[in-house]
A and B are shown apart, each in its own frame.
Chain A
Amino acid sequence: MIEILNLRKRFFRKQVLDGVSFAVEPGLITCLAGLNGAGKSTILKAIMGLVPVDGGSIRIDGRETALHLTGNRGQLNRYRAHKVAFIPDRPAMPPSMKMRDALRFMADFYGDVWNGEKARDMMAFFELGEDERLGNLSKGTAAKFNLVLGLALETPYVLMDEPFSGIDLFSREAIADVFSTGWLEGRGVLITTHEIREVEHLIDRVVLLKDGVVAKTFDSEEMRLAENKSIVDVMREVYRP
């Protein structure tokens, strides 16, 4: 389990995270939602140790990993790399690289954590060829390839930052289909998205951020069962001024 407790982060005058607490459980798809600037991406980056936090704790399977600008970063980075795959909202590789080279780079860099067979399966599922350069890919294709790079890492946890943002309908549908497959089976998934409608039927748990704290957490099926409300209904209640 990834346990986030009382996380705090200030950017200049803005207290972006003001005591955020929630958990990412194995086997569940958790959606972290919030209006623009609510700190969703900051939380993902904090889990990955890419931004330091001002306070609070991030425990990954029992081990404290929150980056406070001190401590042994190297060891923690290794630990995180085996525990969590981070899929950023756009590919982080150089545009001149071919997809084939990017796959080879991942295999070399991650070693045991990289599952080449899974990567090949996903390339076939998305109908991606390996010869194209990353710089020439359409946004939709780049998003799919980005997902391949992240999901082929055999980590118990996966973080996805806006996997549906700015891409065409059919690419969004293809990416949504990944959530119905066994590729995520047993893993704890944390996803941020604006396109809630795309994933209404796919997510187990919702965490709504507002004003630097978690305003509401709920299981989507339980919410439908108990109150007959969709995720979007609940979001309207929480965010409408």
Chain B
Amino acid sequence: MRPDEGFTFAFNNREPVYLQVVRHFKIWIATGRLRAGQTIPSRRELAVLAKINPNTAQRAYREMEEQRLIVTEGNSPSRITGDERILRSVRSELLEEAVDRFMELIGHIDVSTEELVALVRQKHAALRNGGNTGHD
């Protein structure tokens, strides 16, 4: 899990950093970058990688353990869970979060479900056909 393998962190200043770390891991799980059973860095290594306070790294790992995203047995390094049910739920959770945010943004725009779905379908097709979403 090195930065040159694409595992880089970006944080905003208004959300708890430990929750942002958890979200990074969820995205990497949902996109298959982190696989079931894969070893992850120690808390100390994560603090250095993400350039965060070691206490925050500790808290992020505790949170991921509570959500059963990672497992730590004895003194061996922490791993991504092997529980497929949890891994699948990460994907649907992220999707739902993204749609919620989308809904918040369009909440005050007068638009029918049909129009919205048509637009989403068009954008999604464009995305799958090579990443062109209509923006430059």
Interface residues of A (CB under 8 A from B): 27-29, 176-177, 179-182, 185, 197, 200-204, 221, 224-225, 228-233
Contact = CB atoms under 8 A, between A and B. Distances in A.
Contacts of B19: 225
Contacts of B52: 180, 201-202
A-B complex: 3 closest residue pairs judged by Cβ atoms: A230-B13, A224-B16, A225-B16
Interface of B: 11, 13-19, 44, 47-48, 50-56, 59
A225 B22 CA distance: 14
Contact of B11 (A181, A201, A204, A233): A201
Contact of A201 (B44, B48, B51, B59): B51
A232 to B, nearest CB: 7
Chain B interface mostly: helix
Contact of A180 (B13, B18, B54): B54
B55 A182 contact: no
Contacts of A176: 51
Nearest to A227: B14
Nearest to B44: A182
Contacts of B13: 197, 200-201, 224, 230-233
Chain A interface mostly: loop
A177 B51 contact: yes
Contacts of B59: 221
28 contacts: A27-B55, A29-B53, A177-B51, A180-B47, A180-B48, A180-B50, A180-B52, A180-B53, A182-B44, A182-B54, A201-B53, A202-B51, A202-B52, A202-B53, A204-B55, A221-B16, A221-B18, A221-B56, A224-B16, A225-B16, A225-B19, A228-B14, A228-B15, A229-B14, A230-B14, A232-B13, A233-B13, A233-B14
